[in-house]
């Protein structure tokens, strides 16, 4: 296997590696690019700006992320035994990449089963604390589909090569894919993890006619949110404006009183809110 990146030569094409982690934070001055191979039965080489960048890239493989200088990159995909990119199986396609953005270039089948390539922009906008993002992409040779979560449709009529996305509380989603208007899964159900601050991208790829539909999964860090605060006190016993040990001792004694006061205050509040309605 020669999965080597050849860089810096005639085309002036230079790459720097962001890191080997599957989900890496995107920096503002670089474009992050991953490449998904979603064409069944075809092992390929990937050329970027004329340089063979991925060798013997197999169906279902995900490469990257790469941190690239912003700019337009020309990608061509050839059979794995090609000497160069002069007769590509897919492309060449121009990928305009902006800094601070995350992209996935997918080689896949169109709805009719012909090889094609699509550049997706991965949504890394801020997710709320405790939430993650689920993105579903239809890159399979199949008609439009519905995406089912927990048995009910959360995305309807998704066609190749479109995507749908939604933010969800972090957790595990039981996801399935069915022909639009039906609930009988053609893929899944499968458990998909949605993590806080992560965009989990699920691809439906392969061919319905050839009965090799499958899911591919990619994770991209979003800009995550912190909790709005940490509320860690209820009684006032640790009040530093009266930090004498006498107060602390008294505080222990007055716990019962404090509790009673809380109850009283709540009752008062209830009475007040009740009286406001009159």
Q: Which residues of 138-177 are buried (b: 16+ CB within 10 A; e: fewer)?
A: bbbbbeebbbbbeeebbbeebebbebebebbeeeebebbb
Q: Give the pair of three-digit tokens for residue 239.
A: 């009040």
Residue 187 neighbours by CB under 8 Å, 6+ apart: 176, 177, 204, 213, 214, 215
Query: For other proteins, which is the closer residue by CB, 23 or 164?
Result: 23
Comparing C-alpha atoms, which of 31, 11, 8, 35 is closest to residue 85? 11
Count of residues near other proteins by CB under 8 A: 71
Binding mask 101-140 for other proteins (x = CB under 8 A): ---------------------------xxx----------
Q: Give the pair of three-digit tokens for residue 253.
A: 């004694």
Residue from 40, 47, 64, 148 that binds other proteins (CB under 8 A)? 64
Terminal Cα-to-Cα distance of the chain (whole angstroms): 79
Contact between 193 and other proteins (CB under 8 A)?
A: yes
Contact between 215 and other proteins (CB under 8 A)?
A: yes
Q: Are 199 and 132 in contact (CB under 8 A)?
A: yes
Q: How near is the Cβ of 102 to other proteins at its closest, in Å? A: 15
Contact between 218 and other proteins (CB under 8 A)?
A: yes
Contact between 15 and other proteins (CB under 8 A)?
A: yes
Q: How near is the Cβ of 4 to other proteins at its closest, in Å? A: 6
Contact between 66 and other proteins (CB under 8 A)?
A: yes
Q: How far apart are alpha carbons 118 and 94 in whole angstroms?
A: 10
Give the gyration radius of the chain's Cα atoms. Answer: 27
Q: How near is the Cβ of 234 to other proteins at its closest, in Å? A: 5
Contact between 71 and other proteins (CB under 8 A)?
A: no
Q: How near is the Cβ of 98 to other proteins at its closest, in Å? A: 21
Query: For other proteins, which is the closer residue by CB, 17 or 209?
Result: 17
Contact between 41 and other proteins (CB under 8 A)?
A: no
Q: How near is the Cβ of 108 to other proteins at its closest, in Å? A: 12
Contact between 25 and other proteins (CB under 8 A)?
A: yes
Contact between 269 and other proteins (CB under 8 A)?
A: no
Query: For other proteins, which is the closer residue by CB, 73 or 203?
Result: 203
Q: Give the pair of three-digit tokens for residue 202.
A: 């699920």
Query: For other proteins, which is the closer residue by CB, 118 or 224?
Result: 224
Comparing C-alpha atoms, which of 34, 39, 81 is closest to residue 62? 34
Contact between 214 and other proteins (CB under 8 A)?
A: yes
Q: State the residue for tokens 């998704």.
A: 158
Q: Beta partners for 135? A: 165, 201
Residue from 29, 184, 211, 228 that binds other proteins (CB under 8 A)? 228
Contact between 53 and other proteins (CB under 8 A)?
A: yes
Q: Give the pair of three-digit tokens for residue 188.
A: 């899944």
Using DSSP's 3-state secondary structure scheme, residue 47 falls into strand
DSSP β-ladder status, 102-109 and 115-122: antiparallel
Contact between 274 and other proteins (CB under 8 A)?
A: no
């Amino acid at each position: 296997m020669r999965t080597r990146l050849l860089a810096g030569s005639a085309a002036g094409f230079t790459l720097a590696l962001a890191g080997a982690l599957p989900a890496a934070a995107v920096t503002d001055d670089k474009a992050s690019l991953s490449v998904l191979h979603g064409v069944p039965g075809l092992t390929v080489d990937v050329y970027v700006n004329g340089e063979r960048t991925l060798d013997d890239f197999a169906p279902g493989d995900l490469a990257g992320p790469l941190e690239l200088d912003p700019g337009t990159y020309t990608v061509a995909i050839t059979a794995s035994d090609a000497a160069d990119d002069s007769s590509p199986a897919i492309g060449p396609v121009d990928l305009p990449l902006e800094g601070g953005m995350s992209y996935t270039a997918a080689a896949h089948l169109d709805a009719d089963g012909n090889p094609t390539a699509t550049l997706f922009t991965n949504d890394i906008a801020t997710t709320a604390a405790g939430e993650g993002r689920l993105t579903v992409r239809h890159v399979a040779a199949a008609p439009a589909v519905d995406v089912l979560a927990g048995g009910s449709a959360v995305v309807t009529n998704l066609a190749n090569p479109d995507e749908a996305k939604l933010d969800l509380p972090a957790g595990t989603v039981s996801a399935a894919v069915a022909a639009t208007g039906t609930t009988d899964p053609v893929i899944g159900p499968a458990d998909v993890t949605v993590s806080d601050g992560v965009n989990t991208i699920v691809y439906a790829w392969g061919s319905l006619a050839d009965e090799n539909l499958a899911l591919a999964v990619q994770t991209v860090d979003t800009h995550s949110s912190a909790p709005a605060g940490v509320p860690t006190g209820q009684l006032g016993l640790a009040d530093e404006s009266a930090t004498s040990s006498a107060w602390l001792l008294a505080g222990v004694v007055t716990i019962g009183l404090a509790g009673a006061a809380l109850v009283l205050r709540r009752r008062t509040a209830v009475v007040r809110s009740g009286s406001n309605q009159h």
